[in-house]
Structure 1
Amino acid sequence: MKLKIILVRPSVAENIGAVARILKNMGLEELRLVSPLCELKGKAEWVAHGARDILQNAVIFSNLGNALSDIDFSVATTAKKRKRKADNHLPEKAIEIIFNKKTAINTAAIVFGNESHGLNDHEISLCNIISTIPMHTAYPSLNLSHAVMIFAYEYFKFQKAQPSGKECTTDKGFKSLMLKAEEILNELEISKNKNLHNRIMERLSLLDETDIHLMLSVFDRYFRTKQLK
């Protein structure tokens, strides 16, 4: 499983350079940037130092939807309380949820918002789960690169302890499960703008590899039975 780090509208060049350096230190290879608000030369390169290759190979996207198009599972990070009812997972738990999917996913992403404003509600809705770093309530603020370091380190710990697994097939993976669940919810007229829809999809996002395959078997049987009627 390959983990990508996605920065949405980063505005401080030094932060991007520091994130590139962190990725290099923790064995991560791909940095994705969504509509960066600063140059990737100069200050960013100076801070990146020995990780300039990560910076130079960073892939730039116009929106988060495009950046996530080939990602099987994604985690939105936020420090703010949101109107949307959803569980907030600790970084270690979020990474554990990713690794528990084993061969049900090939790629995952941790998504970080702008230094001042974070991710907006729509961008958070594009991700599967939400993760928040606990902080002292008197000053709940972290530098962007520090937040990335926490998640990258948790990934590094799990990755070292995990044997390399087989790649998932498109019809047996987590993404397939979510597409089939979406189809069933549409049939039941449980639309995306309803809290029930969001909670169901969120709970499905917590399933491990074994339970993903189990639910796929149930869904496949449902669709086969439906075709026979």
Structure 2
Amino acid sequence: MHFPLILVSPARAENVGAAARAMKTMGFDTLRIVNSQAHRDPAARRVAHGAGDILDNATHWDSLSAALHDIDFSVATTARSRARFHYYATPQQLLPLLEEKQQWVNSMALVFGREDTGLTNEELALVDVLTGIPMAADYPSLNLGQAVMVYCYQLSTLRQIAARPEIAADVQQLAALRQRCDALLARLAVSDDRKLADWLTQRLGLLAQRDSAMLHRLLHDIEKNLIDKNAD
């Protein structure tokens, strides 16, 4: 399973080094950096402490969309107060979700935002599911390196689970489902209802493969029914 971690515009080299160290200890080895050269700073290597190979092999991307171009399923970490989206999976809820996805997608990615402002709403809209770490107190957020460690620890078992080869699924199923839903909302003239559209966008990412397939069938029946009614 190809599973890179993506850091979007990290500002502090020490945070990138801490993230690389967390990845190394939990078995993750692929790092993508968006719009930053912080991983090349000597301070990053000092903090990485044995994870210099992850920094050496890190790839640079000009935008998050470019960094996600070959990813079948993506998850972004965010603080609830910073985004218009309101549907989140905790790290504990994320594990069974990704275990199921691992059986029918070839690649997944975990995205972390900027230390000060996180990810923009436009960037959040590029991913399939949002996740956040519940806080015991009203505190803004964890340090980037700490957040990476929490998720790498929680998801480390994914590195030990082999996908079942007998399940052959269309990895574009989710993207196609989103397109059909968007088209249906437009056809029903409710695409301007942002609350409904945002809810639908986030909920689709939580569906298992079988549920996605059943929703495709339902959308097909709805589309056919609309065509028949228009023909009358």
Tell me which residue corresponds to 2:81: 81
Partner of 2:31: 31
With the length of structure 1 as denominator, give the TM-score of the two structures: 0.85
Q: Which moved more, 1:179-188 or 1:21-30?
A: 179-188
1:158-206 superposed Cα distances (whole Å, 9 cap, x missing partner) = 443x342237554663333323333333333343772211111222111
Corresponding residue number in structure 1 for 2:72: 72
Q: 1:197 to 1:155 in 2, by over 3 A?
A: same
Aligned AA (1:135):
M
Match of 1:115 in 2: 115
The amino acid across from 1:41 in the alignment is D
- Structure 2 residues without counterparts, runs of 5 or longer: none
Contact 1:87–1:130 (Cα < 8 Å) also in 2: yes
CA contact (8 A) 1:27 1:156 kept: yes
Q: Which residue of 2 aligns with 1:194?
A: 194
How many angstroms apart in 1 are the aligned matches of 2:200 and 2:162?
Answer: 31
1:212 corresponds in structure 2 to: 212
Question: Displacement, 1:25?
Answer: 1.8
Single out whichever of 128-137 and 219-228 deviates more from structure 2. 219-228
CA distance in 2, matches of 1:175, 1:105: 12
Partners of 1:15 and 1:144 within 8 A in 2: yes
Mapped to 2, the partners of 1:63 and 1:193 lie a distance apart of: 28
Residue aligning to 1:124: 124
- Return 5+ residue gaps in structure 1 as ranges: none
Distance 1:163 1:147 in 2: 25
The answer to whether the Cα contact below 8 Å between 1:104 and 1:212 also exists between their aligned partners in 2 is: no
Q: Is the 8 A contact 2:104 2:209 kept in 1?
A: yes
Indicate how the Cα distance of structure 1 residues 140 and 204 shifts in structure 2: closer, same or farther if over 3 A, else same: same
Cα distance in structure 2, aligned partners of 1:145 and 1:181: 37
Tell me the equivalent position of 2:103: 103
Tell me, in whole angstroms, the C-alpha distance in 2 between the residues paired with 1:192 and 1:99.
Answer: 34
Structure 1 residue 98 displacement after superposition: 2.0
**Match of 1:165?**
164
Q: What per-residue deviation string (whole Å, max 9, x for no partner) do you get for residues 8-30 of structure 1?
A: 11011111112112222222121
Distance 1:176 1:168, change over 3 A: farther
> How many percent identity over aligned positions?
35
**RMSD value, Cα:** 2.7
Residue aligning to 1:8: 8
Q: Kindly indicate whether residue 50 of structure 2 is the aligned counterpart of residue 58 of structure 1.
A: no
| Equivalent residues of 1:102, 1:209 under 8 A apart | no
Cα offset, 1:225, TM superposition: 7.8
Distance (Å, rounded) in 2 between the aligned partners of 1:146 and 1:90: 15
Task: Give the secondary-structure state (helix, strand or coil) at the position aligned to 2:155.
Answer: helix
Q: For the residues of structure 2 that align with 1:116 and 1:83, how far apart are their CA atoms?
A: 14
Shift in CA distance, 190/3, structure 1 to aligned 2, threshold 3 Å:
farther
Q: TM-score, with normalisation over the residues of structure 2? A: 0.84
| Count of residue pairs brought into register by the alignment | 228
1:112 is matched by which residue type in structure 2?
F
- The 3 A distance-change label for structure 1 pair 210 and 112 is same
